[in-house]
Amino acid sequence: MTRTIDTLTRAARHGMLVRAACRCGNQRHYRAGDLALLFGGGRDPRSLRFRCSQCDRKPPTVAIIEVDLDRTGALTVWKPVAMPDGATAWTPERLKRG
């Protein structure tokens, strides 16, 4: 039975990524599991409010994508890091197998 992946938890179970792409050409990838921990697992990824770091607009395209790690080149995934003051900063890391 085919089921639509419409929440961060369902996407995280399958190891999927959330891609936020802007009209200016900038795009970022996030692990669905990281976003589920921060924003709640029952949340629809398209309801998250992303903002472009280059042009400061809201990205028009938010998509859940499945990544084949054998075919992935140099894909950068943004990872949340807790700061000492309680804020969350995002740092880039290269997507790895496993």
pLDDT for 29: 94
Asked whether residue 1 is assigned to any structural domain, the reply reads no
What is the average per-residue pLDDT within 73-95?
89
71-87 in b/e burial notation, b at 16+ Cβ within 10 A?
A: eeeeeebbeeeeeeeee
> How is 43-87 classified by DSSP, letter by letter?
S-GGGS----TTT-PPPSEEEEE---TTT--S-EEEEEEE-TTS-
How many domains, the chain? 1
pLDDT at 67 over 90: no
The parent domain of residue 57 ranges over 8-94
Asked whether residue 2 is assigned to any structural domain, the reply reads no
- Alpha carbon distance, N-terminus to C-terminus of the chain: 27
Confidence grade of residue 89 (pLDDT, cut at 50, 70, 90): very high
- Which stretch of DSSP H or E encloses residue 91? strand 88-94
Mean pLDDT of all residues in the chain? 88
Asked whether residue 27 is assigned to any structural domain, the reply reads yes
Asked whether residue 3 is assigned to any structural domain, the reply reads no
pLDDT tens, 8-53?
Answer: 999 999 989 999 999 999 999 999 999 999 999 999 998 998 888 8
Asked whether residue 35 is assigned to any structural domain, the reply reads yes
